[in-house]
Amino acid sequence: MKKLIGQYPDATGHFGPYGGRFVGETLMSALLDVEAAWHSAKNDPAFMASFRAMLRDYAGRPTPLDCAERLSAHAGGARLWLKREDCTHTGAHKINNVVGQGLLARRMGKKRVIAETGAGQHGVATATIAARFGFDCKVFMGAEDIRRQAPNVRRMELLGAQVVPVTSGTSTLKDAMNEALRYWSGASEDTFYVIGTVSGPHPYPEMVRDFQRVIGDEARAQFLEKCGKLPDLLVACVGGGSNAMGLFYPFLDDPCEMIGAEAAGDGLDTPRHAASLCGGSPGELHGALTYLLQSDEGQIHEAWSISAGLDYPGVGPEHALLHDLKRVRYEGVTDVEAVAAFQLLCQYEGIIPALESSHALAAALREAKKRPAAQNILVNLSGRGDKDLDHVTRWMKEHGAP
Ligand SMILES: *Cc1c(COP(=O)(O)O)cnc(C)c1O
């Protein structure tokens, strides 16, 4: 097997043909500053020690590795293990990345941070560390998303952030990210742009992966300690792909299979899904080449999923490479399958998962049934589901679910 750890991106920020830095001159200089600061920081033991200390004391790491005994027995096959990112401060893996970028912004002497957000989860995470570090914080959010995600808008405001409505395009996440990039090109002198997933121009896909790999590093050591061997299969959901890259990366050179669960919405054979790898094609978005949901003319399609955190019309460029290399298998999980998995985890384990994470669970359950009890499947439980209760309840009523 070809070694992958430490091979990508190359010096120009490419993951094979994907990634790169397709931006204008002013953004280019801001990105070069971030790249230089990041490369110096990651080789500075004092910086990495402060990152680990803040993950421990503020974010609540390490998170547990938990065997889902009753759910495994119900599935009737392989044993399911959960990496409990839902136990972190703010309830999802996003905190790992914003702690890292917040420390980097402070190291660079920036006083203000900006972020894009769709469902509001990354906006809340960024507002959280902005309060902690004393940064001024602006979060760009589509006007349509502001309407749909009122509780998260309220959270960001309570944390002291200003939510900036974006009305271009479809007034959703891709437009918010375009607007954040545009704003940053005029404000990078004193402002740091905190990107929420492994997408966007170099160095973000690499940097966010390196902040999130703590998930896989911990899980690998915990699994070896508990089982004396590695898991047979890893499963994570893929929106932009940060929790999946975080789990997968430290295992890339191990003989473990991997599945990335994309949101298939109403089905991959309908226009209502968010599966950029299973149902998209390569193109350029937000400064990088990757797989996108687009028409033959390159018009970006709006993504659709029951889970707001997965409906991004692109995917991180490293996933595009892993897809082409067939190192990771990407599969669609429909809304119906995700809600069924959501209910099973509630009923069999007493854990209410995020709808995003329920996509990973559904893909893992499908596999568990096909495999013998001697096999182990490690699922990244990327977040908790309290935020989804109203939405799931309404969905179940409308669809006559039990
Ligand atoms: C935002 C979010 C995701 C999707 O983002 P990735 O970058 O693909 O990880 C998944 N799970 C939860 C709980 C989220 O909040």
- Single-letter residue type at 373: A
Residue 343 burial (10 A CB sphere; 0-12, 13-18, 19+): middle
Distance of CA 25 from the midpoint of ligand 1 (Å): 31
pLDDT of residue 309: 87
Tell me whether residue 262 is one of the annotated catalytic residues. Answer: no
**Pick from 90, 111, 242, 254: which is nearest to 156 by CA?**
90
Distance of CA 158 from the midpoint of ligand 1 (Å): 22
pLDDT of residue 308: 85
14-15 and 18-19: which strand pairing? antiparallel
Separation CA 80–CA 111 (nearest Å): 44
Regarding pTM above 0.75, the answer is yes
Q: Ligand 1: which atom is nearest the Cα of residue 121?
A: 15
Hey, whose CA ends up nearest to atom 10 of ligand 1? 356
3-state helix, strand, coil in the chain (%, to 5): 45, 20, 35
pLDDT of residue 2: 80
Tens digit of pLDDT at every position of the chain (402 positions): 689 999 999 999 999 999 999 999 999 999 999 999 999 999 999 999 999 999 999 999 999 999 999 999 999 999 999 999 999 999 999 999 999 999 999 999 999 999 999 999 999 999 999 999 999 999 999 998 998 889 999 999 999 999 999 999 988 899 999 999 999 999 999 999 999 999 999 999 999 999 999 999 999 999 999 999 999 999 999 999 999 999 999 999 999 999 999 999 999 999 999 999 999 999 999 999 999 999 988 899 989 899 888 988 999 999 999 999 999 999 999 999 999 999 999 999 999 999 999 999 999 999 999 999 999 999 999 999 999 999 999 999 999 877
User: Residue 254: how many CA atoms within 13 Å on its side-chain side?
Assistant: 18
Query: What stretch of H or E contains 260?
Result: strand 257-265
Contact 184, 105 (CB under 8 A): no
Distance of CA 223 from the midpoint of ligand 1 (Å): 23
Grouping H, G, I as helix, E, B as strand and the rest as coil, residue 333 is strand
Distance of CA 122 from the midpoint of ligand 1 (Å): 9
Tell me whether residue 370 is one of the annotated catalytic residues. Answer: no
Outline which parts of the chain fall under CATH 3.40.50.1100.
21-56+94-208, 61-91+213-399
Tell me whether residue 168 is one of the annotated catalytic residues. Answer: no
The topology (CATH level 3) of 61-91+213-399 is Rossmann fold (3.40.50)
**Alpha-carbon separation of residue 167 from 91, 171, 173, 187 (angstroms):** 29, 5, 11, 20
Hey, whose CA ends up nearest to atom 3 of ligand 1? 309
pLDDT of residue 233: 99
Contact 133, 105 (CB under 8 A): yes
Tokens of 108: 């660079």
Mutation to probe ligand 1, out of 84, 94, 212, 351 (largest number of atoms < 8 A from CB)? 94
Separation CA 244–CA 209 (nearest Å): 9
Distance of CA 361 from the midpoint of ligand 1 (Å): 14
Q: Ligand 1: which atom is nearest the Cα of residue 241?
A: 8
Hey, whose CA ends up nearest to atom 2 of ligand 1? 309
Contact 63, 360 (CB under 8 A): no
Mutation to probe ligand 1, out of 319, 356, 361 (largest number of atoms < 8 A from CB)? 356
Domain 21-56+94-208 carries which CATH code? Answer: 3.40.50.1100
Instruction: Give residue ranges with CB within 6 A of ligand 1.
Output: 92, 94, 121, 197, 237-243, 309-310, 354, 356-357, 382-383
pLDDT of residue 292: 97
**Alpha-carbon separation of residue 158 from 68, 115, 119, 124, 135 (angstroms):** 36, 16, 17, 10, 14
